[in-house]
Every structure is written in structure tokens, then in C-alpha cells.
Amino acid sequence: MATYYLNIALTYMVIGFGITLWFYYVLRRPFLGRFWGALVLGLVGAFLGGVIDFYFEDVLAQLANLNNVNIFPPLITSFVLMWLFSTVASSDRS
């Protein structure tokens, strides 16, 4: 049972880390706290997406699964949070 939850947590962490790398290094978006701030935000977004998946599991059940974990809610939520906060950070510098 603990392995199941560890698998879910590791999947969410990889998603959050991947979104962070995409926004910070590929898109070169500014973040408050630079890379570490972006990483925390990406992880929070991924886990928040997992919570959304928990409550809307029936609706999202038709989406593809990776490693027995529905990856779309954490992926989308992490992406939206990163975009939102990078937009706020870039408008703050103007």
C-alpha cells in the first residue's frame, strides 16, 4: 500500500519538475525565487492537480493513465499555475 502512494507522489514530482524545467529553461519565463520558486510552484501545481483528480475521478476516468496514475490533472494544473505566476512575475518587472 505504501508503494502505491510512493508511486503516485513520485509521478507528481516528476511532472512538477518537468513543467518547471519547461517554463524556466525552455520558455525562459521569470519567476519570483528564480528556479527554486518555480520548482515549488510546479510541485504544488502537480499535487493540486492530483487533488482535482481525486474529486473528479469519474469524469477523468476516460483519460489515459501513465504508471496507473492519471497524469492529465497534475500536468494541466501545474502548467496553468506556472503560466499564471510567470505572467504575474513578468508584469511585476515592467
Q: Calculate ∠ Cα 44-17-45, nearest 5°.
A: 20
**Residue pLDDT, tens place only, 24-71:** 899 888 888 889 988 998 899 899 888 887 887 776 666 666 667 777
Does residue 34 come out as left (phi exceeding 0), alpha (psi in the -120 to 50 range) or beta? left
Torsion of CA 92, 31, 40, 57, to 10 degrees: 80
Structural domain boundaries, residue 59: 2-93
Q: Looking at the 3D structure of the chain, how many domains does it have? A: 1
Q: Note whether 71 and 12 are within 8 A (CB).
A: no
Give the model's confidence band at 21: pLDDT under 50 very low, under 70 low, under 90 confident, else very high. very high
Task: Name the pTM for this structure.
Answer: 0.67
pLDDT of residue 17: 94
Does residue 14 carry a pLDDT above 90?
Answer: yes
DSSP state of 64: -
